[in-house]
Structure 1
Amino acid sequence: MTFIWATRGRTWGFRFLLDAGLDDPRAEYLRHFTGVENVMRAFRRDGDVVVARFADPLERRDSAGRVIPHEFVVFSPTSDSISSVEDAIRELWPLVEETFDRVWDRPAPPERR
């Protein structure tokens, strides 16, 4: 996969579920999300890297009632077709939806891949 995906589940906290093959996805995540840390709906392009955050399309919430966010750092070539949050939802959500459906309600997060 050419993207990092971070989210949280019903009872487990923020985790990287996809790491784009990086040993330390957190470093890339922090570098690219600087400036949009507190915005629920975010989009930014930095060269061939896209940053996108959007609320769970099925409006799921964690056990504390907070909206589940999905956060992505997307690298080329996947980033090439993304120019907005709407594009990110259309392009990325189908790639992770099935996985999230399986894991979001588990008591512990899955291992990242």
Structure 2
Amino acid sequence: MKLNTILWSTRGRDWGFRMLLQPKIPCDDWLLPYEAMFNHTSTEDTKLSRGKVTIHGNHVPYVAVTFADPESRKDRAGRIIPHKIAIVGEESNKFQDFDSVQKDVWQKLSSVYAQLYEHESVAMEKIQLICNDGLIKISKKEHQQEAHTEEKQPNFQIAVVIMAAMTLAIVVVILLQIVSKKPEIPSPSSTVRETNQIVSKVRQQNLLEKSTKSSENNSSDSDKSLTLMEKELNPIMQSEFKAPITAN
């Protein structure tokens, strides 16, 4: 049978439920098909279900079984561990009953599970299963993560270059706007208004100056009149004071 058509979900002594195997069929999130295939099955049931599940708009056939661990292994809480296994795709048509699925599929999975059962939860986070040449191999995720990191480095460098280019373009646009900014030209109406105000101020200043000169001229004429009167009165006053005083 093709191992890359298997979806396998179970738990261990210290680690919780997880999908150890997923079919090599393009799918964004296998949790949705998983729930559709096992939605009517509890972890304690021994059951086979068959149907079609929607993956990327395609109705894909499947056969799914749920059964307790054949060796009655338990988790830390003392519960019997269940296994949920589905064969997805045309390969599922080869299995007609529960016994055929459990016998053929579990024969491929039992030795792998025996190695994983006692793993700590933290250790399981670093492990993945790889199907290759009809065998299931246990591999560490660290090596794959390092490869992904090396692949992402060029992408990161490209992103930095793009960001720098975008920043430079923004600076250039701002500088061009500053350089090309034209001074504001006053409108004709505002210019006429300002001119009228200046002319009005000049007229008021001229009127003020004329008024000042007029008052100065009036004062000068008055002074001249007083001076003439003094000249006329002085001889009379002097003659009166010089006249002899006669005794009665």
Relative to the length of structure 1, the TM-score reads: 0.87
Q: Which moved more, 1:5-14 or 1:79-88?
A: 79-88
Q: CA deviation at 1:94?
A: 1.1
Higher helix share: 2
Contact 2:44 2:67 in 1 (8 A): no
Q: Which of residues 15, 18, 22 is equivalent to 1:15?
A: 18
Within-5 A mapping of 1:1-113:
1-21=4-24, 22-37=27-42, 39-47=44-52, 48-108=61-121, 109=124, 110-111=127-128, 113=130
Q: Deviations over 1:53-72 (max 9, x none)?
A: 11111111111111111101
Q: Deviations over 1:31-86 (max 9, x none)?
A: 11122235521111115310111111111111111111110121134322322221
Q: What SS is found at the alignment partner of 1:101?
A: helix
Q: Deviations over 1:79-100 (max 9, x none)?
A: 2232222112111101111110
Q: Letter of the aligned partner of 1:94 in structure 2? A: Q
Q: How many residues align?
A: 113
Q: Distance in 2 between matches of 1:23 and 1:8?
A: 23
Percent of aligned pairs with the same amino acid: 28
Contact 1:10 1:104 in 2 (8 A): yes
Where do 5+ consecutive residues of structure 1 fail to align?
A: none
Q: Distance in 1 between matches of 2:49 and 2:104?
A: 15
Q: Distance in 2 between matches of 1:76 and 1:42?
A: 19
Change in 2 beyond 3 A, CA 1:57/1:99: same
Contact 1:82 1:91 in 2 (8 A): no
User: 4+ residue stretches of structure 1 with deviation over 6 A?
Assistant: none
The alignment's C-alpha RMSD in Å is 1.8
Higher strand share: 1
Q: Distance in 1 between matches of 2:63 and 2:72?
A: 23
Q: What SS is found at the alignment partner of 2:128?
A: coil
Where do 5+ consecutive residues of structure 2 fail to align?
A: 53-60, 131-248
Contact 1:59 1:67 in 2 (8 A): yes
Q: What SS is found at the alignment partner of 1:111?
A: strand
Contact 2:10 2:20 in 1 (8 A): yes
